[in-house]
Amino acid sequence: MSLLQLNHISKAYGALTVIDGISLTVAKGEALGIIGPNGAGKTTLFNLIAGNVQSDVGTVNFKDHDITALAPSARCHLGIGRTYQVPHPFGGMTVFENVLVGATFGANHSEREGTNLALDTLDRTGLLPKANRLAGSLPLLDRKRLELARALATQPDMLLLDEIAGGLTEHEVGALIESIQDIRANGTAVIWIEHIVHALLAVVDRLLVINFGKVLTEGQPAEVMASAQVQEIYLGAVA
Ligand SMILES: Nc1ncnc2c1ncn2[C@@H]1O[C@H](COP(=O)(O)OP(=O)(O)OP(=O)(O)O)[C@@H](O)[C@H]1O
Ligand SMILES: [Mg+2]
């Protein structure tokens, strides 16, 4: 069953067309990876799905609702969760309080239900021992985990991850892959933008390549990576 459908969506900033007629379907529980050069439009695509930005043309459907005109909060309530490429936690609040915001406002729970959900989410993301630390004092891996926990606490059916592994050590990337595999195993669909390709390949069912705001190619991950188009345009190799 299809969960998300983008129908010919486009977005321009002035004369610059950033997303140029993208159509895409994501199935319930599917994990889709997205790669593409810097500035290709990947984060803008997430902004269009999550509602931070409105498309100029085309429609966005989620769970058979037309969500094209909905605000980000309404899309969150319908089950779309996201992380940001540049994490922006409430630095003066504790880790627990940050996740509680997602659990109570995002998932529409009472404070008591929200508290339980926040604690459970901290446990799942390995942050429970740091629940009382100030978010602003966390090292990078924990800031990434907090970004993940904040999104997860909204109980999404689809999670958008924007370069969540960037800047981490190999060992830390391994820990993050395990967390994301666990999220998938619980039935949450994942769309993951990442430049660290081996991390993506460990998780995703399908890989999509975006270049100049268009879908360059998509398919089985290993085949997409081996294709001449990707070698040439994404990796910069000379064929
Ligand atoms: N609010 C905005 N106003 C004007 N231009 C924008 C805006 N947001 C993005 N752009 C431009 O759109 C293009 C695509 O940006 P986007 O952030 O979607 O790329 P990206 O694929 O996520 O790149 P990266 O891999 O570096 O994160 C870039 O040229 C960017 O400068
Ligand atoms: Mg980006």
Domains and CATH numbers, the chain: 28-53+69-79+157-239 (3.40.50.300), 86-155 (no CATH)
Whether 73 has a pLDDT exceeding 90, the answer reads yes
CA atoms within 13 A on the CB side of 180: 35
The mean predicted confidence, pLDDT, of the chain is 93
Cβ of residue 51 lying under 6 Å from some atom of ligand 1: no
Predicted structure pTM score: 0.94
Cβ of residue 155 lying under 6 Å from some atom of ligand 1: no
pLDDT band at 239 (very low <50, low <70, confident <90, very high): very low
Q: What is the whole-number distance in angstroms between the Cα of residue 39 and the centre of ligand 1?
A: 5
All residues at 6 or more sequence positions from 161 whose CB lies less than 8 Å from its CB, including other chains: 82, 83, 148, 151, 180, 190, 191, 192, 193, 194
Mutating to test ligand 1, I would choose from 18, 86, 160, 163 the residue with most ligand atoms within 8 A of its C-beta, which is: 18
Mutating to test ligand 1, I would choose from 20, 22, 43 the residue with most ligand atoms within 8 A of its C-beta, which is: 43
Report how far residue 155's alpha carbon sits from residue 183's, in angstroms, rounded to the nearest whole number: 11
Whether 124 has a pLDDT exceeding 60, the answer reads yes
All residues at 6 or more sequence positions from 178 whose CB lies less than 8 Å from its CB, including other chains: none
Helix, coil or strand: residue 111: helix
Closest Cα to atom 19, ligand 1: which residue? 39
